[in-house]
Chain A
Amino acid sequence: MITRPKLSDWQIIGFYTGKIIVGVGLMMLLPLVIGIVFREWSAAVDFIIGISIALTIGHGLQVICRKRREMTWMPGLVTAAFSWLVAMVVGAVPHYLSGHFGSFFDASFDLMSGITTTGLYLLQDLDHISYSLNMWRHLLTYVGGQGIVVVALTFLIRGSAGAFMMYVGEGKDEKLLPNVIQTARALWIVSLTYMVVGGVLLTAANLYDGMAFTRAFLQGWWIFMGSWSTGGFAPQSFNILYYHSLLIELLTMTLFIIGSFNFALHWAVWTGNRREVYRNIEIVSFITTLFITVTLGSYALLRIDAFRGTAALFRKSFYQIVSAHTGTGLTNMYPRQFSDEWGGAAMLAVIIAMALGGSAASTSGGFKAMRVGIITRSFMAEIRSLTLPESAVLVEKIHHIKDRYLNDKQIQSSMMIVLAFIFIYLGGGVIGSLYGYPFIDALFESGSAGATVGLSSGVTSPDMPTGLKAYFMFVMWIGRLEFIAVFALIGFIVRVGRGK
């Protein structure tokens, strides 16, 4: 229950939000360095302004709200939700100053899309933005995949007993190691190792395809960030289609499949428990639903003869559906190709794949394979119980790192979150229809935003109505944080409003 906020609650929320905003400011140092190295003076000034604002607000909040007690459950959740909003506004400053956005609101849209690893964007003239702005976009999506709270836990917050509350509030509730700070560092070990391996391979692939070294290097790392974080941003407006390279498609697909795995699974496999990959409920669930959606989508495309030949169908159908199911949003098709060529049935397969999503405690969104697995198991147990005597007690087990017994609370909570996701997907479909978009296109875009995917049927553009932009920003945020932290923030605001 959320009780009336006390002064100390405000102080804790302000203090930790300040820490996180300082983290956002420090992140801007990397694009600033890129701007200086490549003599992009105007962009460098944008980042100096952004850093100044972030450090002023961040340190200001820490001074004003100096904490006098440890964090508890409710302020932890509220901080997680609130800090993402403040990070969106502060991080949008260099975006807006770049002159590539129609308004600060549009710049904030791209920020929210970046940190939630969605990949939808309103930026104009993407092919001609500075290296530093491109670095900022991709860095945001890479760090957002880890979680901005995880960044703060790793580098800025030491030994806080309440840190786990913020970590949970950010949609990750698995401890890889006994201590949450060590857990945050373990997440970074996995991500940074893949960054080195993936970045080198993608740079080599770009060089092989004839790109000059500097571009090959930068674009290689940016594509890595867009793939691994399941973010979907790419440095060119044609996304992965720009490269026309099977090698890059295979490399990015490998990275976003692995990126959509649960960090607890990574850590188990990385510490010797390799059998986990075929026993884990999330992997079993993910592979099953992936092949169902690939079969549905590919069959629908074959029926309308959309692509000729196995290779074309594999590169278009499989790539798009895996990208959707892992919550990535990278694409090797033209922006409006879904609406113009795929047909309703194939689009529906992509919508289902987007809605399902990747693993819990990963960088992807959607229902999550864990919940799909739990609901399927409980459904099957319910059917099995019909064939058993009334007095029989049925115990259902799932395997995730270790064997776990399913209980009613887990099933109920999984169903509630899945229902909430369905509600926000359909809500966007209805709102989009009211604005005059075809329902299937609006549902596609809403599913893409709510499940933080980033594939587009062409609805998202700078001309999109402001109400729809705001709705998509809201569902990206609430979908990424998986509702609980946002509900806590809303409850907190209501309590403040009521004064009790």
Chain B
Amino acid sequence: MSRKASKFQDYKEHAAGIATEVALAVAIFGGGLLVIIVLEFLVD
């Protein structure tokens, strides 16, 4: 693999890594919202 192609591969991996981490963060606050909805239902 040429140096340029290898660099491009690295950038692709990094971008996929960022997407994975953002997806995890979004899943965490999605879970938080769900917990709050369930608690509201239970307390009411």
Contacts and interface: CB of A to CB of B under 8 A. Distances in A.
Interface in A262-281: 266, 269-272, 274, 277
A444 B33 CA distance: 25
Contacts of A298: 35-36, 39
Interface string B6-30: 0000000110111011101110110
A257 B33 contact: no
B1 interface: no
Given A257-B28, A261-B21, A270 B13 contact: yes
Interface residues of B, number: 22
A314 B34 CA distance: 10
B25 A254 contact: yes
Interface in A165-209: 189, 193-194, 197
Interface SS of A by simple majority: helix
Contact of A317 (B18, B21, B26, B36): B36
A291 B43 contact: no
Interface in A61-114: none
Contacts of B21: 258, 261, 266, 269, 277
A468 to B, nearest CB: 33
Nearest to A299: B39
Nearest to B23: A277
Contacts of A478: none
B14 A291 contact: no
B33 A310 contact: yes
A318 to B, nearest CB: 4
A402 interface: no
A287 B17 contact: no
Interface residues of A, number: 33
A209 B31 CA distance: 27
B24 A283 contact: yes
A322 B31 CA distance: 12
B37 interface: yes
B14 A193 contact: yes
Interface SS of B by simple majority: helix
Nearest to B16: A274
A194 to B, nearest CB: 8
B24 to A, nearest CB: 5
A354 to B, nearest CB: 17
A254 B28 CA distance: 9
Given A258-B25, A318-B36, A303 B17 contact: no
A210 to B, nearest CB: 25
A294 B32 contact: yes
B38 to A, nearest CB: 9
A253 B25 CA distance: 8
B14 A257 contact: no
A364 B39 CA distance: 29
Contacts of B35: 291, 294-295, 298
A271 B13 contact: yes
Contact of A318 (B16, B20, B25, B33): B33
A302 B20 contact: no
B28 A290 contact: yes
A299 B33 contact: no
Nearest to A276: B20
Nearest to B28: A257
Contacts of A294: 32, 35-36
Contacts of A257: 24-25, 28-29
B33 to A, nearest CB: 6
A274 B32 contact: no
A194 B31 CA distance: 24
Contacts of A322: 28-29, 32
A236 to B, nearest CB: 23
B25 A302 contact: no
B33 A277 contact: no
Contacts of B25: 253-254, 257-258
Contacts of A283: 24
Contacts of B18: 193-194, 197, 270
Contacts of A313: 36, 40
A307 to B, nearest CB: 10
Contact of B17 (A250, A253, A271): A271
Contact of B29 (A193, A250, A310): A250
Contacts of B28: 257, 287, 290, 322
- A-B pairs, 6 with minimum CB distance: A270-B17, A257-B25, A269-B17, A318-B32, A302-B43, A254-B25
8 contacts: A258-B21, A258-B25, A270-B17, A274-B17, A291-B31, A291-B32, A294-B35, A302-B40
Interface of A: 189, 193-194, 197, 250, 253-254, 257-258, 261, 266, 269-272, 274, 277, 283, 287, 290-291, 294-295, 298-299, 302-303, 310, 313-314, 317-318, 322
Given A298-B36, A302-B43, 6 more contacts: A189-B14, A269-B21, A270-B18, A283-B24, A299-B39, A318-B36
